[in-house]
């Protein structure tokens, strides 16, 4: 199965997050661009849009790893307009913004290592054309 790892953090990025100073809450800002049609490489998943595949990932996130992540969704919604920036360019062309708060870096990292989360990643890979994740 081919997985586009460009939507995953690198090992250096994970280490930098892990080793950063401070132990308080973190907020992750997700910029999401969905595929028109989900790209599942394995059999067994019904055809769907990229947005629908990402919703499967989110459902697993809530159902399987909420106790580990203790995440709170602060905002989820479509992009209305580009107010500052160049409309129609990759850096401003996003379908949705998702803002999630975690009690600590440790909670976020524990979620990433959780087997339920790792199993749900297939829906994220199938659904996303590209993404940016900003840690605040």
- Report the phi/psi class of residue 76: left, alpha or beta, with left for phi > 0 and alpha for psi in -120 to 50: beta
Q: Which residues touch 127 (CB under 8 Å, ≥6 apart)?
A: 34, 35, 38, 49, 50, 51, 52, 53, 54, 55, 56, 57
C-alpha 3: how far from its chain's center? 15
Burial degree of 86 (CB within 10 A; 0-12, 13-18, 19+): exposed
pLDDT reported for residue 20: 85
pLDDT reported for residue 61: 79
Domains and CATH numbers, the chain: 25-135 (3.30.70.100)
What is the rounded distance in angstroms from the CA atom of residue 103 to the CA atom of residue 121?
A: 22
pTM of the model: 0.88
Three-class SS state of 108: helix
- In order along its 136 residues, the chain shows pLDDT tens digits of 445 667 888 888 888 888 887 789 999 999 999 999 999 987 788 899 999 999 999 998 788 888 899 999 999 999 999 999 999 898 999 999 999 999 999 999 999 999 999 999 999 999 999 999 999 9
């Amino acid at each position: 199965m081919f997985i586009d790892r460009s939507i995953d953090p690198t090992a250096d990025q994970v280490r930098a997050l892990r080793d950063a100073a401070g132990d308080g809450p973190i907020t992750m800002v997700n910029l999401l661009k969905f595929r028109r049609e989900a790209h599942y490489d394995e059999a067994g998943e019904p055809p769907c849009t990229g947005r629908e595949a990402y919703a499967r990932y989110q459902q697993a996130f809530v159902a399987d790893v909420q106790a580990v992540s203790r995440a709170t969704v602060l905002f989820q919604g479509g992009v209305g307009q580009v107010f500052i920036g160049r409309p129609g360019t990759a850096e401003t062309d996003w379908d949705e913004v998702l803002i999630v708060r975690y009690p600590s870096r440790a909670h976020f990292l524990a979620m990433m290592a959780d087997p339920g989360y790792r199993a749900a990643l297939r829906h994220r890979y199938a659904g996303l054309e590209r993404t940016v994740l900003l840690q605040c």
